[in-house]
Structure 1
Amino acid sequence: MPLPTFLMAGIQKAGTSSIYKYMEQHPEIGLGRAKEPNFLESELPPETIANNQAYYEKRAFRYSYEKYLNNFSQCTDELAIGDGSVNCLFHYETSIPRIQKYIPNAKIFVVLRHPVERAFSDYLMHLRDAIDSEQTLPLTRQSPSSFQLRKGLYYNPIKSFQETFGTQQFRVFFYKDLCENSVKMMKSIYEFIGVSTDFEPDTSQKDQTASIPKNSSINRLLRKPNPLKTVFRSTVGTLLPQEKRQAIRSWLISKNSKSKQSVSLSPEEREVLLDFYREDVLKLQDYLNRDLSAWLK
């Protein structure tokens, strides 16, 4: 079975879902059935799998090499085969050894976004999906160990990847360039992973257009397991096919949603977050020899 020849290693909330969609269009690129198998992030201890069997059965590519290989079994004669596990950059300490072990010659690229904007987008996603109450605290009240904040500390992960794989095998792209000229950036990615740059993707459709709930309590009720949903499924739900129940749920969620453009960070909150990232941005700027002063404003 084929193995990936390239890895989109990060970072979450930096346009990677859209980039993955654009790569799907290219006739010389093959992609796995699961965008983020996450097998390369870290090794899961057998007892962790055993104690959470039902959870990991739904995420089979996550812990089995054989199942990871099977994720790409439909790829045949494509010039490039891709893995879109975008948390590999964040989990660099465990992912780098696994990449060296399983796909040592793969091309690896990341897309970086203004860390404050990335963190806020991540925050809105957690708010929308009712994930983890600690992660839906206001960003400026979160612990420095919060994943939402730490994912924007790019310097150590980038330095480790580049020193391990070298500039011929590892490349850094920027979300700003994707926004300003998506076709040009995609052609740069195509060139890096070794497919034709003559192909021009349709980048008119953006993926992951975010919304946020009008009422968080209603949102949690609709999205998370709870006694009311259990009662509904066991009574009224038995009279409706699953597709109809899902359509009703989606309609209710949409009615309780508003555009993410309706919320923003206050100048005071932004300044707190800029101070949090300032030292890391300055170190990354020197390391990459790229002007990142816009990330300090």
Structure 2
Amino acid sequence: MTEMDYKYTLLSSDSEDCQKRPFLFHVDNNNQMNLFAVLEVRRDNYRRWGGLPCFRKAKVYSIGLGLTVMSLVMASYILTGEKKGLLITPSPYQYSTVNNSGLLNSHVTDLSFLFNLSSVRDYTNMKLVVKTITSNIEFSTRQLPDLKDLVKYEQHMFSIIPSTFLPNVKNPCWYEEYTGNITADPYGTNLYALYSKRFRTVFDYLRNAFREHLYRQGNKYYRFRCLPYFYIIGQPKCGTTDLYDRLRLHPDVRFTTFKEPHWWTRKRFGEASASTLWDNNAWVYFYENATAEGEPPFLIQDFIHAVQPNAKFIIMLRDPVERLYSDYLYFGIANKSADDFHEKVSESLQLFESCILEYSMKSCVYNTTLNNAMPVRLQVGLYIVYILDWLTVFDRNQMLVLRLEDHATNRKYTMHKVFDFLSLGPLTEQKEAEITKSPASNTRRQADKNLGPMLPATREILKDFYTPFNARLAQEFKNDSFLWEKKSKFM
């Protein structure tokens, strides 16, 4: 089955029809009345009441009053985010979990369950969903692509990055001839420069410094180009920003202009994009789906390894249950609450279950349509799935895996592990104190803290979901701390 086939299986036309169709309320056992049926006024009724203008006016007034009350009630539900009562259009992302036939387009018929996901009443049902998911977990080894296939699909990248680099330089660096007009704006066509005021400020600096970094030899100009010596590749809401800010203070470290250029994952053109470990969502737009199971034919690490086989990677992880809630609070826009988070978790688990009943676990983890449909990013916390795929091309000694919980309680210890891993030079006591004792970066906003923790039922469901993945992670690295059995004090 192709990715396009799978896309339309997951988001079927039945779902779209359900979304377009207004909800029908049952008036009695035999008849249905459309919610907006009150707006349908037949002409023969007007003729029947033609001799009684007072009654006609009363009828009009009563209809207007009814509509006003109805509007106020609906507005109240919408503004408060309450979804337990009135919903005009059912969500297209609701699927059956009890007696699931395995079809991705099967819908829930029990409407009382459909519209009450935000309470703990669905606790038992969600436990069954998680049990179904975990019983279908299978860790498989991926087939590595040939280098010639990588070159075929990324000819431009392989044409501008040389196969050999300058000696005696820690980074992979080379000189590239600059054939452009040195008096013209080198970033005139770069859309990043128009992204925001902060980006415009950065590009103003780059523009002014550009000519100073050109090397002239004879009548030619050359640019000194480098790839990163190391990457901070994951995960979001696991402390990568704090690690990045502290590493920037080390005199031996230079980062890119932007912390997260997402060059490998989304643009292709030492970065610290916390999406590099897991984000392969763009593969369906770049490449043909060459596998019957719907798994990506190429992954990010295949291209990095092809040009940088000796690169180093730092991975920051965190209890995936807490990571998901932090991710929800950080990226959520409005109506955030523990109840809303519970509902979104329930919807996402149902979607994941529907996928894993038909396809391999890995194809579901990498499925772009599924990832975009889930209200919360469940897949990002499946750390071991991504790490095992990275270990198919890179050695384990090229990766440093840290836990946010350890970093939060003992920054000096984790930073020294990073310094040793990157073979950085020694620090003065003053500089070390500046790096290790500065306040934490990118912490939870006060408004989000005021929302309190997630519901106990939500936590228990997510713990059951992530436990087998955490167990495999702990086994791989022979470290039981990756089980996250003790509740973290870090929020």
Q: Normalized against structure 2, the TM-score is what?
A: 0.40
Q: Could you tell me which residue of structure 1 aligns to residue 425 of structure 2?
A: 196
User: Which residue identity is paired with 1:195?
Assistant: L
Equivalent in 478, 485, 488 of residue 289 of structure 1 = 478
Aligned counterpart, 2:226: 2
**Is 1:13–1:118's contact at 8 Å kept on the other side of the alignment?**
yes
- 1:172-192 deviation per Cα after TM superposition (whole angstroms, max 9, x unaligned): 111111011112101111111
**Paired residue type of 1:171:** L
Work out the CA distance in 2 between the residues paired with 1:202 and 1:172: 19
Contact 1:114 1:295 in 2 (8 A): no
The separation in 1 between residues aligned to 2:473 and 2:413, in whole angstroms, is: 24
Contact in 1 for aligned 2:342/2:458 (Cα 8 Å): no
CA positional deviation for 1:259: 4.3
Provide Cα deviations, 1:50-103, integer angstroms capped at 9, x if missing partner.
xxxxxxxxxxxx24x3xxxxxxxxxxxxxxxx2101111113662111211333
Give the whole-Å Cα distance in 1 for the aligned partners of 2:469 and 2:381.
9
State the Cα deviation string for residues 202-241 of structure 1 (Å, max 9, x = none): 44311112227xxxxxxxxxxxxxxxxxxxxxxxxxxxxx
* Residue from 74, 83, 102 that aligns with 2:271: 83
* Structure 2 counterpart of 1:25: 249
Secondary structure, in 3 states, of the residue corresponding to 1:101? Answer: helix
Q: How do 1:233-244 and structure 2 match up within 5 A? A: none
Shift of 1:128: 4.7
SS state of the match for residue 313, structure 2?
strand
User: 3-state SS of the aligned residue for 1:7?
Assistant: strand
The equivalent residue for 1:275 is: 464
Match of 1:207 among 420, 433, 441: 441
Q: CA–CA distance in 2 between the matches of 1:174 and 1:19? A: 11
Alignment equivalent of 1:155, drawn from 360, 384, 405: 384
- Whole-Å separation in 1 of the counterparts to 2:346 and 2:382: 17
Amino acid at match of 1:153: L
Distance in 1 between the 2:399 and 2:440 partners?
25
* Paired residue type of 2:275: N
Which of 345, 357, 365 is matched with 1:140 structurally? 345
Q: 1:22 to 1:112 in 2, by over 3 A?
A: same
Equivalent of 1:175 in 391, 404, 422: 404
**Counterpart residue type for residue 294 of structure 1:** W
Aligned in 2, Cα 1:138/1:21: closer, same or farther, shift over 3 Å?
A: farther
Aligned pairs for 1:101-112 (under 5 A) are: 101-112=306-317
The farther-off stretch of 184-193 and 111-120 is: 184-193
Q: Render the CA deviation track for 1:229-280: whole Å, top value 9, x for unaligned.
A: xxxxxxxxxxxxxxxxxxxxxxxxxxxxx24254211111100111111111
Amino acid aligned to 1:154 = Y
- Tell me by how many angstroms 1:10 deviates: 0.3
Give the deviation of 1:171 after TM superposition.
Answer: 1.8
Partner amino acid, structure 1, of 2:475: D
Equivalence for 1:250: none
Letter aligned with residue 91 of structure 1: D
> What is the distance in 2 between the residues matched to 1:6 and 1:101?
15
Output the CA distance in 2 between the equivalents of 1:210 and 1:279. 28
Is the contact made by 1:31 and 1:83 (CA closer than 8 Å) also made in structure 2?
yes
Aligned to 1:96: 301
Report the structure, 1 or 2, having the larger helix content: 1
1:123–1:139 CA contact under 8 A, matched in 2: no
Over the matched positions of the two proteins, sequence identity in percent amounts to 27
RMSD: 2.5
The structural deviation recorded for 1:138 is: 3.9
- For 1:256-275, list aligned pairs within 5 A: 258-275=447-464
CA distance in 2, matches of 1:115, 1:261: 21
Q: TM-score, normalised by structure 1?
A: 0.65
Please tell me whether Structure 1 or Structure 2 has the larger radius of gyration of its CA atoms: 2
The answer to whether the 8 A contact 1:115-1:295 is kept is no
Tell me if 1:165 matches 2:355: no
User: Which one scores higher on RCO, CA 8 angstroms, separation ≥ 6?
Assistant: 1
Identify which range, 181-190 or 3-12, moves more after superposition.
181-190
Higher mean alpha-carbon deviation, 261-270 vs 109-118, is at: 261-270
* Contact 2:318/2:405 (<8 A) preserved: yes
Aligned to 1:219: none
* AA of the residue aligned to 1:114: D
